[in-house]
Chains A and B, each alone.
Chain A
Amino acid sequence: MNPQLPLFPESASALSGEVDLLFSIWCVISVFFSALIAGLILYFMTRYRRRHPEDVGANERAAIWLEVGWSVIPLAIMLAMFAWGTRVFFRIYRPPKDAVQFSAIGKQWMWKVQHPGGQREINTLHVPVNQPIRVTLASEDVIHSFYIPAFRVKQDAVPGRETSIWFQATKPGTYHLFCAEYCGTEHSRMIGWVIVMEPQDYENWLAGGATGKSMVASGAELFQSLACVTCHRAGNAGDTGRVARGPALEGLYNRQVKLADGRTIIADDNYIRESILTPTAKIVAGWEPVMPTFQGQVSEEQLTELIAYIRSLGPAGSAPAGGGQP
């Protein structure tokens, strides 16, 4: 940031320019109306100053057109700004298809970040420039909020559910990462940096660190070790010829699923999470509620990895996709 007094924070994401424009136009409108009101008050104050202690004001001349005018004009302006603001909002919340999946887990008082390749860091997030990145957010304790002012994005990490945020950094540099939701003693120390790098530098950085397994690979391993695979097998009949007890998960992610109670829902991060922790909440049509809960047996990180694995499962039959590439 500049040593002088900037009015805008650094603008370093694909959407930050539009948010600034939206904000600037609102500022112009606000200054206009504030100046109008202040100007009128100051003018009336001098023009209609009481000149004699017994003076009284003129009788009011009712003007319905004025009342209608100053109701409808602000309303029209607000509705226009609402439409624009909502469009920007939907763009902030709809990640592009090719976004790379990261994960961040909030915990009193740190952000635990994991790269798709399995690299972990705390309170720092290295990302390549010009690459859409989606960060899934979860919390191990209280509500936190993942906030990068330079990208104009923020999303609460709420315990008990998955949320996500996406951005596309446009300028290499180092930017603030804040926790924006009050979370206790060290709330103001739950801060860090987002480091945006040229793709080559990012590759080098990845290579330099201790490389663990990719998130998807860890998820696949959990899928085996927690014995998910014994029921959720590719193809409804396994090698043994017995009918599987759970639906296959290939191609499930972001598809419509018909539930036993007749509803249809989208199998998104939250649905998969809920199905692991509270399997009986939303039973898929045609299946028995036989799955045990994994509440307390998987950590937030393991949940994220399991979801990453299920997300990576292509259509039935094909090999898991989206392995360890950044």
Chain B
Amino acid sequence: MNTSAAATPEPTTAETAFERPNYLNAVYGVRSWLLTRDHKRIAILYLISVTIFFALGSLMAALVRLELLTPEGDLMGPDTYNRVFTMHGIIMVFFFLIPAIPAVLGNFLVPLMIGAKDLAMPKLNLASWYVYNIGAAFTLWAIFNGGVDTGWTFYTPFSTNYSNTYVVSTALGIFITGFSTIFTGLNFIVTIHRMRAPGLTWFRLPLFIWSTYATSLIVVLGTPVIAITLLLVGAERLLHLGVFDPKLGGDPVLFQHLFWFYSHPAVYIMILPAMGVISELVAAFARKRVFGYKFVAFASVGIAVLGFLVWGHHMFVAGESVYAATIFSVLSMLVAVPSAIKVFNWTATLYEGSISYETPMLYALGFIGLFTIGGLTGVMLATLGIDVHVHDTYFIVAHFHYIMVGGTIMAYLGGLHYWWPKISGKLYPNFLSRLSALLVFVGFNLTFAPQFVLGYLGMPRRYWSYPPEFQVLNVLSTAGASILGVGYMLPLFYFIWSMRYGRKSGDNPWGAVGLEWDTTSPPPTENFYTMPVVTQGPYEYNREEVHNRLTQEAPLG
């Protein structure tokens, strides 16, 4: 994003830029972090929290894949296995995927991208981190006391009257954490409405802001529904209030309607911010305006709205009426159109671009490929005649991992690599980071592509042991998971390494435009030295300006 001359920070050399106090070294001490109201520091706090949960969730995934190496259940007992896959799902969905991009990258970038000093409600922002951790503590308590075995979907009446595990404390943890998501979403909505820099009209907003805005709408409208649903599960379990269990006069399918009314839009809470990240990355590394900006922007809003109308496609074989199934099938296909629009527009952005293959771009291109496969298999699943066969099989497992892992996590990692110099002021090793992108891409496909075949062959999900003819594909999948694991561990090591030993990045190592690059890296606590004034759209690249940016600052080696 271009700003008028007055808005540009005074030209400095890379060295003097680092003499200035930035948000990392402005104040020191544990208190200065735990009581901070700086959105950038809160983003770092969130980064630490979600990384811990990602590691925990990955560990559970590793145990699942190891158990499935052989057809017999031999590594652990069935009760342990059921707890492990349940915790994998709960941790990854509620404590990693939903907060990851909004709470880490969103918190860091929303004020920077719109030229604001902070979010509209900095105290609420800090509160959201504490609420997240309190919720997480409840769930962790449940894990360490023996776990929960309902699957992350909590299907009734199993969860309310049959499971002998810590359902209520886990659900309470998710309930509490839901508030932190709502706080963050509310904060983003208010900030994007009220605190944009002068001249920053809606159609000059970066697409990451559009998608964060759309996500926040879903969060604010949808999260209360899951909160109420989980409370009802707790009420039925503890007070025997008949809501879902037919023995108490309830309806188990009612739970599925309520659960998916939130949890399907929650898929878009996970993928929309990822799409926003990809738009930024593709524009920055093709040095070109995103093709069809308005289409991509409105596609985000379209996905947010339509995403609320497709929940019934989770119940095609649950005894839903065939006519309801028909309606949900066609609506589910409609929601694929805005997603397709985005994929085509990203691809078209590359046309006549000036493309470089830095690590973030490799992650972004990987995202487009994996998301395309995830999306297409999603439309297959929306086709009624196919869903009957593959519902609740590994086909579903493969599909949603292509969206959530191949999509969201690729974008999250791509975004972290892209904005890491902004966050830390440091560069990470070029070779290792490209290797990590490659390992993640290859490992991911080897893990989950065989699961599509497994699913169509009929292997049901959540099986602790399975018929021997499924073994070959399961072995391939486990082998892929080990490559994927290495790919994920590399960034953890070199990001931490780079904070101490990495070369200084300069303010703008990519020669990218965007308000967040119009300040120093890392930025000062107030974000900008002078209030930016915006005069044009978000992705206006011209050669002269890029030349100035790159020669002013330390070049990327």
Interface residues in chain A, defined as those with a beta carbon under 8 Å from any beta carbon in chain B:
1, 3, 5-9, 18-19, 22-23, 26, 29-30, 33-34, 37-38, 40-41, 44-45, 48-51, 53-60, 62, 66-67, 70-71, 74-75, 78-79, 81-82, 84-90, 92-93, 108, 141-143, 145, 147, 149-150, 152-156, 158-161, 163, 176, 178-189, 191
> Which of B326, B334, B352, B384 is most buried by chain A, counting CB atoms within 10 A of its CB?
B384
Residue contact A54 to B550, C-beta cutoff 8 Å: yes
Give the distance in Å from the alpha carbon of A67 to the alpha carbon of B511 in the complex.
29
Chain B residues 392 to 423 lying within 8 A of chain A, measured CB to CB, are 392-393
In the complex, what distance in Å separates the CA atom of A30 from the CA atom of B389? 18
Shortest Cβ distance from residue B241 to the other chain A in the assembled complex, whole angstroms:
16
User: Which of B149, B351, B388 is close to A92, meaning CB atoms less than 8 Å apart?
Assistant: B388
A141 touches B386 (CB 8 A): no
Known: A7-B456, A41-B369. A187 touches B462 (CB 8 A): yes
Flag if B392 contacts A176 (CB, 8 Å): no
Could you jot down 19 A-B contacts, CB within 8 Å? A8-B456, A9-B457, A23-B386, A37-B372, A38-B369, A41-B368, A45-B365, A50-B354, A54-B543, A54-B547, A57-B286, A60-B290, A81-B379, A89-B316, A108-B162, A149-B457, A154-B392, A182-B461, A185-B79
Contacts A54-B511, A56-B543, A86-B385 given; does A184 touch B453 at CB 8 Å: no
Interface residues as binary, B163-204 with A (CB distance below 8 Å gives 1, 0 otherwise): 100000000000000000000000000000000000000000
Given the interface pairs A50-B355, A188-B78, the reply to whether A74 lies near B322 with Cβ below 8 Å is no
Please tell me if the beta carbons of B379 and A78 are within 8 angstroms of each other in the complex: yes
> CA–CA, A79 to B326, complex, Å?
12
A188 lies within 8 A of B330 (CB): no
**Is B467 engaged at the interface, CB distance under 8 Å to the other chain?**
yes
Chain A minimum-CB-distance residue to B373: A34
Which of these, B252, B388, B541, contacts A153 with CB under 8 Å? Answer: B388
Which bucket holds chain B's interface residue count? 35 or more
Contact A57 B287 (CB under 8 A): yes
Q: In the complex, how many angstroms separate the beta carbon of A43 from the nearest chain B beta carbon?
A: 9
The answer to whether A188 and B466 touch across the interface, beta carbons within 8 angstroms, is yes
Contact, CB under 8 Å: A67 / B347 = no
Given A74-B336, A186-B78, also A85-B392 (CB < 8 A) = no
**Top-7 shortest CB links A-B:** A160-B246, A149-B458, A57-B288, A88-B385, A89-B384, A85-B383, A57-B353
Main SS class of interface, B: helix
> Of A40, A44, A147, which contacts B353 at CB under 8 A?
A44
**Could you tell me the distance between the alpha carbons of A5 and B472 in the complex, rounded to whole angstroms?**
8
**Contact of B497 with A by CB under 8 A:** no
By the criterion CB–CB under 8 Å, are B380 and A70 in contact? Answer: no
- Please state if B322 and A181 are interface contacts (CB–CB under 8 Å): no
Once bound together, how far apart are the Cα atoms of A270 and B78, in whole Å? 34
Residue from B157, B341, B555 within 8 A of A159 (CB atoms): B157
Contact flag A152-B393 (CB < 8 Å), given A38-B369, A41-B350, A142-B162:
no
Residues A156 and B546 in contact in the complex (CB < 8 Å), given A41-B350, A48-B286, A78-B336: no
When the two chains form their complex, are residues B391 and A92 in contact, meaning their CB atoms are under 8 A apart? no
Pair B377/A78 contact, Cβ less than 8 Å: no
**How many Å from the CB of B388 to the closest CB on chain A?**
5
Looking across the interface, which residue of chain A has its beta carbon closest to that of B463? A188
Instruction: Name the distance in Å between B510's Cβ and chain A's nearest Cβ.
Output: 10
B60 to chain A, nearest CB (A): 16
Asked if A93 and B322 make an inter-chain contact with CB atoms under 8 angstroms apart, the answer reads yes
Q: How far is the CB of A65 from chain B (nearest CB, A)?
A: 12
**Nearest chain B CB to A194 CB, angstrom units:** 12
CB distance B391 to A58 under 8 Å?
no
- The verdict on A74 contacting B543 (CB below 8 Å), with A58-B353, A82-B333, A180-B392 known, is no
Residues of chain B contacted by A150 (CB below 8 angstroms) = 458
A-B contacts besides A9-B457, A82-B329, A142-B157, 4 pairs, CB < 8 Å:
A44-B355, A147-B392, A158-B318, A184-B149
B365 A158 Cβ-Cβ under 8 A: no
- Residues B460 and A178 in contact, CB atoms below 8 Å apart: yes
